[in-house]
């Protein structure tokens, strides 16, 4: 899918869907966080950039995720959190990102409510990984991620409760949990 087709579909359905960003009482106690869903134009179409988290991290070590992190008072907005964290984690400068939309907030079993922002990244960007936070950076074609046949449901035990999560394998990596749920939410949004 090319950039303009994606943007047209996303914005068309954005106008059709009511904004459901209000949080229920349980979610208001969760810590706020934000991520960037970074899309980059490549010769074959759009790709999404992912990070593989450093192995020594306390939360979600080694998991595939979008760049982002916990909201700080100095951020001023959750969108700024996503952009700041992207620059800190993988070195993509904020002026190389054009944020054009967001997905619904997602509560996680680790005690966060995550706000995902979508942004186009300049295709000439360079990455500079912070090894304290990120092990590696890689891209996955958007078309692959939008194919529902590539996703599978898995059950897991977290906080002594049974949950299910979506999973998608790409090359030698597994995308699952909140990151996979955000991709599912993007699929649903584009489908209207």
99 in Cβ contact with 77 (< 8 Å): no
137 contact partners, CB below 8 Å, separation of at least 6: 49, 50, 51, 52, 90, 127, 129
Span 149-177, pLDDT tens digits: 999 988 776 667 777 889 999 999 999 99
Question: What's the mean per-residue pLDDT of the chain?
Answer: 89
Q: Say how far apart CA 166 and CA 153 lie, in whole Å.
A: 5
DSSP state of 85: H
In order of 132, 134, 146, 153, the CA distances from 87 in angstroms are 14, 12, 26, 32
Q: Residue 22's pLDDT is what?
A: 44
Q: Residue 28's pLDDT is what?
A: 66
154 in Cβ contact with 192 (< 8 Å): no
15 contact partners, CB below 8 Å, separation of at least 6: none
- Between 85-94, 111-120, 157-166, the lowest mean confidence (pLDDT) is in 157-166
Q: Say how far apart CA 188 and CA 175 lie, in whole Å.
A: 18
pTM of the model: 0.89
pLDDT reading at 98 higher than 50: yes
In order of 75, 117, 126, 169, 178, the CA distances from 78 in angstroms are 7, 9, 24, 29, 17
pLDDT reading at 26 higher than 70: no
Could you tell me the domains of the chain? 3-143 (3.90.79.10)
Provide the 10 A C-beta neighbour count for residue 61.
12
What number is the average pLDDT over the span 77-82?
98
Q: Residue 158's pLDDT is what?
A: 64
Q: Residue 108's pLDDT is what?
A: 87
- 78 exposure class (CB count in 10 Å sphere: 0-12, 13-18, 19+): buried
29 in Cβ contact with 18 (< 8 Å): no
């Amino acid at each position: 899918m090319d950039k303009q087709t994606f943007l047209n579909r996303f914005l068309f359905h954005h106008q059709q869907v009511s904004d459901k960003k209000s949080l229920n009482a349980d979610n208001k106690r969760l810590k706020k966080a934000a991520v960037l869903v970074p899309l980059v134009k490549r010769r074959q179409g759009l790709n999404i950039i992912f990070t593989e988290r450093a192995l020594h991290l306390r939360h979600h070590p080694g998991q595939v995720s979008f760049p982002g992190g916990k909201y700080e008072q100095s951020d001023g907005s959750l969108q700024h959190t996503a952009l700041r964290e992207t620059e800190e984690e993988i070195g993509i400068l904020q002026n190389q990102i054009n944020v054009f939309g967001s997905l619904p907030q997602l509560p996680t079993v680790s005690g966060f409510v995550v706000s995902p922002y979508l942004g186009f990244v300049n295709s000439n960007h360079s990455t500079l990984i912070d090894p304290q936070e990120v092990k590696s950076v890689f891209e996955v074609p958007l078309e692959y991620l939008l194919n529902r046949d590539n996703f599978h449901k898995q059950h897991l035990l977290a906080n002594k409760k049974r949950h299910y999560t979506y999973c998608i394998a790409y090359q030698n990596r597994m995308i699952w949990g909140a990151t996979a749920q955000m991709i599912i939410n993007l699929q649903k949004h584009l489908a209207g």
